[in-house]
Chains A and B, each alone.
Chain A
Amino acid sequence: MEITSISNGIIIDHIQAGSGLKILDYLNFDTEHGSVALIMNVSSNKHGKKDIIKLENYENVDVNVLGLIDHHATVIYIKNHEIVKKIKLTLPEKVTNVLRCKNPRCITSSESVPHVFNLADAEAGKYQCEYCDNVA
């Protein structure tokens, strides 16, 4: 399957097969900005299968949220057909208003405060609520 390259924008590569839709859903891209392409189940030397997202004319994406959904992915920034920056995603140390605390005894269930989670165990990908320490 052939997908044309983009001259300006962002490519999110090496997404674990199946996570592409989740990323699109989470980041809720505004398609008025430019074209958005999701390519699923592409053959990959590294992972066997992978997803790719191409965002034409986009300059920024939230790498924290991307890292949380799939920290194996790579974000490639393209300008005038050239790769100007490449970011290998990692699990973010802190995320705000992405995860929600499910502990009914947590203060976030009754006060209007941001839902903040800190990375507690990078190996297991576990996050802990900043307020009640419950694991997400």
Chain B
Amino acid sequence: MNLQGRHLIAPLDLSVAEMEGLFALAERIISAPEDFSDVCKGKLLATLFYEPSTRTRLSFEAAMLRLGGRAFGFSEPSSSSAAKGESIADTIRTIACYADIAVMRHPKEGAALVAAQSSSVPLINAGDGGHFHPTQTLTDLLTIRLERGKLGDITVGLCGDLKFGRTVHSLICAFARYSGVKFVLISPDELRVPEYVRAEMNDFAEVRDLNEALPDLDVLYMTRVQRERFFNEEDYIRLKDSYILNAAKLRNAKPDLMVLHPLPRVNEIATDVDDDPRAFYFRQMKNGMYVRMALIMSLLGKGQF
């Protein structure tokens, strides 16, 4: 299987077999990272971040550096020609002259697709508004796969902002293709999953009470209610504390539950959960770097599987 030259814009851009290939490659990297320390020597990664990021941008840069390549870019639009009104298409045409592969995050939904349509180098969507975040999904699924040995035959609860949560949308679309995946969607009415995501699921239930759903879950995917996605501050304030997970609530959960979170968190997971063996969100971060290494290698034609 060869992903050379492809873009990754939406979670369904990769088939299940291609995702499994990436996970297998990521596991090889985890077991012997030194074997991959110069596979991308001489290659350049551009990071175009029109929106703030800690983990995604740094993990992409770290991934490229660990593969022996180099990374450059901007971390806010004010330091690029976007501030002068340059279009996304012109920006990516410019970047494609200098880099071998590019990663882009943008606050508008569909921005990555617009960029890909003008990009002559592989483009990776690192989040387009409240739409998709496919590499976070690779991170999430790799974390579950490493722990459980397989994906499928699982009950996954997604809690919080399911309307604007791009990590939620991507995860549902990609995960729904595995057999035996049941989704439990836990959110207030105002933050339910959009129609285009709902259409991808075969087996799901929608509830409002986290405590009621918790005992049945194998995975609990917590999300932050994102201030930046709201046009109305009042709505944000009303909904921001809808769901808070703490150690007391976890007493009702399965002993092998996995609590995931794409991070950053604000207060939706209390710090008293951090030391619980069921808290996987910090381990999840490191997996993000490994799976991004696998992805960069593959899109550059250095990691056939």
Q: Kindly supply a per-residue 1/0 record for chain B positions 129-141, scoring 1 wherever the CB is within 8 Å of any chain A CB and 0 otherwise.
A: 1110000000000
Where chain A touches its partner, the secondary structure class is loop
Which chain A residues (82-133) contact chain B, with CB distance < 8 Å?
A: 103-113, 120, 128-133
Q: How many residues of B contact A (CB 8 A)?
A: 21
- Of the residues B114, B130, B231, contact of A107 by C-beta under 8 Å: B114
Which chain B residues (202-246) contact chain A, with CB distance < 8 Å?
A: 229, 231
- Of the residues B108, B199, B229, contact of A110 by C-beta under 8 Å: B108
Chain A residues in 8 Å Cβ range of B110 = 106-108, 129-132
- Of the residues B106, B114, B196, B229, contact of A134 by C-beta under 8 Å: B196
Q: Is A63 an interface residue (CB 8 A)?
A: no
Q: Is B79 an interface residue (CB 8 A)?
A: no
Q: Say whether B114 contacts A111, CB under 8 Å.
A: yes
Contacts A105-B129, A107-B109 given; does A113 touch B196 at CB 8 Å: no
Bound complex: CA A5 to CA B37 (Å): 78
Bound complex: CA A128 to CA B110 (Å): 12
Bound complex: CA A105 to CA B127 (Å): 13
Q: Is A135 an interface residue (CB 8 A)?
A: yes
Chain A residues in 8 Å Cβ range of B88 = 107, 111
Which chain B residues (121-158) contact chain A, with CB distance < 8 Å?
A: 128-131
Chain A residues in 8 Å Cβ range of B279 = none
**B94 CB, min distance to chain A CBs, angstroms:** 16
Q: Say whether A107 contacts B196, CB under 8 Å.
A: no
Q: Say whether B87 contacts A132, CB under 8 Å.
A: no
**A44 CB, min distance to chain B CBs, angstroms:** 34
Chain B residues near A (Cβ < 8 Å): 87-89, 106-111, 113-114, 128-131, 194-196, 199, 229, 231
Known: A107-B106, A128-B196. 8 other contacts (CB 8 A): A103-B109, A105-B107, A106-B108, A107-B113, A108-B110, A130-B110, A132-B110, A132-B129
What 8 A-B pairs are tightest by C-beta distance, nearest first?
A: A131-B110, A132-B109, A133-B196, A107-B110, A107-B108, A132-B110, A107-B111, A105-B109
